[in-house]
Amino acid sequence: MSFQRRNVIINARGAPPRPGAPASPGAASPTTPTSPASPAAPPPPPPPGTRPSPINGQPTTSTGTPSLDSLLAGHAGLPLGCSLLIEEPGTTDYGGALLRYYAAEGIVQGHAVTVVGFGDHWIRELPAVSGDAVVDEPRKNKESERMKIAWRYERLGDFGSGIGGSRAQYTPDRGSTAGDKAKVFCHAFDLAKRLSIPGNAKTAFIPPPSAAAGRDTSPYANIIARLTAILSQSPPDTIHRVVIPSLLNPALYPPHAAQSTYLLQFIHSLRALLRNYPKQLTIMISLPTELYPRDTGMIRWVEILSDGVIELLPLPRKTAAKDGEPQGLVKLWKLPILSEKGGGTGAQLAAGEDLAFTVSRRKFEITAYSLPPADEDEEAERAEKTGQGEGGKKTKVDLEF
């Protein structure tokens, strides 16, 4: 027969130990004060000219063109660690205008801008910040004093304008303080004015490949070596923008630079730099496809190795384009889709809408393309047959009942 004391809790956590018995390892002493949890340190602010993507939170930077930012797969900008290839057939250089906006935005934001194939004369032709960016600052100051939700109702009147009201540019920082231009994500530029380059601008220029290097060596070896040195020697918080205008242009590159062995190795090296510096580097390239069309295997491989591919198709014209009249069409062949959520805005537009671009004195704008009314076409054909332009006397009156 075994004897056991009654009213004793066995293996009870938190119960006072018996006299002379050791305390249980999980029991907390009633006299030991609990230390308060230390507050978590706030995350560092993002670098100027960057903000998180609404798709996956990846840092993005502006291309300098708001309408182009809204097309890049819903990221509202070009994600860091990505490249954008702009193709253009013919002898026009509309893609060069997009590259100048991209470089000018980097200069204004204090980013490091590296130009490949051109000297400092190319950077002196960048467009200046338009007066619209200065005019918008007092308006932002007034909006910051209102209720935070008021701006949502103000945008209801803009539904349907531009590319689409539901696909308008993502602007999460409307409550930013006025006067702090470093918080402006995308500035407005004027092509008729020239940007004054500050003395502390982080600019670098890499000359084009030399034809005297020989066909046995890669003409792009010096470019990759210079880019690698610039990125490795810069601080980790510096945002870099690499601009490569008119790749494979015969006036800049030797003939053997168009060999697939050297060109694809160069694009592979650029892709490796983007993956090694995913939070610092973006690249924009313009490629004239008049001599190297898209249906060739080499250009298709260049598109595969690029994160985004856009083609600008100029419209054939007999006369100069009028104000507000589109100069060409925009084809979105590939977008920087970096998440499982899909392509977002750009994929919807590429699937269901035609896009056109308009280059005016102040901006480069991408909008939905629509044909003019039929009456205007008939009137233009009638004027062409009679040999009379606009404002001429009408010798024949058409009456319709």
Find the mean pLDDT for residues 307-314. 93
- Whether 101 has a pLDDT exceeding 80, the answer reads yes
- Whether 355 has a pLDDT exceeding 60, the answer reads yes
Which two tokens mark 283? 């690249």
Report the distance separating Cα 217 and Cα 329, nearest Å: 39
**Taking the complete model, does pTM exceed 0.85, yes or no?**
no
As a whole number, the mean pLDDT across the chain is 76
Q: For the segment 258-282, what is each residue's pLDDT rounded down to a tens digit?
A: 999 999 999 999 999 999 999 999 9
Q: Under 8 Å CB-to-CB from 208, ≥6 apart: which residues?
A: 116, 117, 118, 252, 253
Q: Which residue has the higher pLDDT, 24 or 330?
A: 330
- Pairing type for strands 83-88 and 203-206 reads unpaired
CB 103 within 8 A of CB 184: no
Tell me the domain boundaries of the chain: 50-375
Cα→Cα distances 226→22, 223, 399, Å: 69, 5, 71
CB 24 within 8 A of CB 13: yes
Superfamily of domain 50-375 in CATH is P-loop containing nucleotide triphosphate hydrolases (3.40.50.300)
Which two tokens mark 325? 């009249």
Amino acid present at 42: P
Report the distance separating Cα 357 and Cα 362, nearest Å: 13
Least confident of 15-29, 82-96, 138-152, 331-345: 138-152
In the block, tokens 């209102």 appear at 146
Report the distance separating Cα 54 and Cα 167, nearest Å: 13
Q: For the segment 28-56, what is each residue's pLDDT rounded down to a tens digit?
A: 555 555 556 666 777 777 888 899 888 88
- Whether 257 has a pLDDT exceeding 50, the answer reads yes
Report the distance separating Cα 63 and Cα 54, nearest Å: 16
In the block, tokens 């909006």 appear at 143
CB 159 within 8 A of CB 166: yes
pLDDT at 352: 55
Report the distance separating Cα 86 and Cα 99, nearest Å: 9
CA 41 to chain centre: 30
What one-character DSSP code corresponds to residue 283? E
Report the distance separating Cα 281 and Cα 275, nearest Å: 9
**Residues, the chain, total?**
401
3-state DSSP assignment of residue 358: strand
